Structure 1
Amino acid sequence: MSETLTPTSTDYFSAVQAAIADALGIDEAEAVPEATLLGQLGAESIDLLDILFRIERTTKVKITVADIAALLQGGIPDEEFGDENEVVNDTGLTHLEKVLPQFDRSQLSEPLTAEGVLGLFTVQNLTDLLTERAAAQHTA
């Protein structure tokens, strides 16, 4: 009887790295775990869609931009996540610290806006999300 293994983050990092490199036209070595997709790697929203499509094609696991947004906002209503100026408040910052291990609000030099939240998303965050989705798909 063959045993099926649960996918791990290591299994998917190379797929994420390759998808990012191909979509952005960069060397795979630049897509290090701590690099932010929209900031340091220069991805734009259309690139993010391309990356997610490439990941799905190679891993058979679908992740959407809405999945990333849901992770980042955690189901917290907009009015509870930020203020009327779209500045992320304490509730939102606390949630981000839970879901983005690298995020440290004490390092913010200016208020974090709702638009800036996606800029915090790293290669490792995408790998972790993919691993989580693959494991859920595996057990379904």
Structure 2
Amino acid sequence: MTTTATALLPAVQEAIADALGIDEAEVLPEATLLGDLGAESIDLLDILFRIERVSGVKVTVADIGDLLQGGIPDEEFGDENEVVNDTGLSHLERVLPQFDRAQLAEPLTADGVLGLFTVQNLLDLLTSRTAASAA
């Protein structure tokens, strides 16, 4: 972890724990926000607002979506049934270090992509935004 990430981790953990009403000890870097920690879409907005308030750096749900889809048009990211195709899966493997398509038990749908997003991914995004705003 970079110095910035190490410094930001407690603030991120606190923001997530407070927004979800859980203990900070549950907010591990590898935990997925929607799956493991039980966040819903509205909770994600609350988490991002809390993080902005303590860090001064704004990260939006659209930023997360941009990271996850990488500017790849919908029709190139998945098929007509919204199942993520090889192009989309390859992109996810590049931007989410923990993602391994070989571990998928069933096809990944567009709705399921956000469920892959972890505390560490949020921390990485925040760290890159912090570095960019400092430059």
Q: Same fold (TM over 0.5)?
A: yes
Instruction: Note if 1:70 corresponds to 2:66.
Output: yes
Task: Report % sequence identity.
Answer: 80
Q: 2:81 aligns with which of 85, 91, 99?
A: 85
Alpha carbons 1:31, 1:41 under 8 Å: kept:
yes
> What secondary structure sits across from 1:8 in the alignment?
helix
- How many residues are treated as equivalent by the alignment? 134
Alignment of 1:28-43 (within 5 A): 28-43=24-39
CA distance in 2, matches of 1:125, 1:93: 16
CA distance in 2, matches of 1:120, 1:12: 21
> What secondary structure sits across from 2:18 in the alignment?
helix
The gaps in structure 1 that reach 5 residues or longer are 1-5
Q: 1:50 aligns with which of 46, 50, 63?
A: 46
> How much does 1:136 deviate?
0.2
Q: 2:125 aligns with which of 129, 133, 136?
A: 129
> How much does 1:123 deviate?
0.3
The gaps in structure 2 that reach 5 residues or longer are none
The AA in structure 1 aligned to 2:20 is L
Instruction: Note if 1:110 corresponds to 2:103.
Output: no
Q: RMSD over aligned Cα, in angstroms?
A: 1.0
Alpha carbons 1:37, 1:121 under 8 Å: kept:
yes
Alignment of 1:87-102 (within 5 A): 87-102=83-98
> How much does 1:11 deviate?
1.3
TM-score of the aligned structures, taking structure 2 as reference length: 0.98
Alpha carbons 1:15, 1:58 under 8 Å: kept:
yes
Q: 1:26 aligns with which of 9, 16, 22?
A: 22
> How much does 1:7 deviate?
5.9
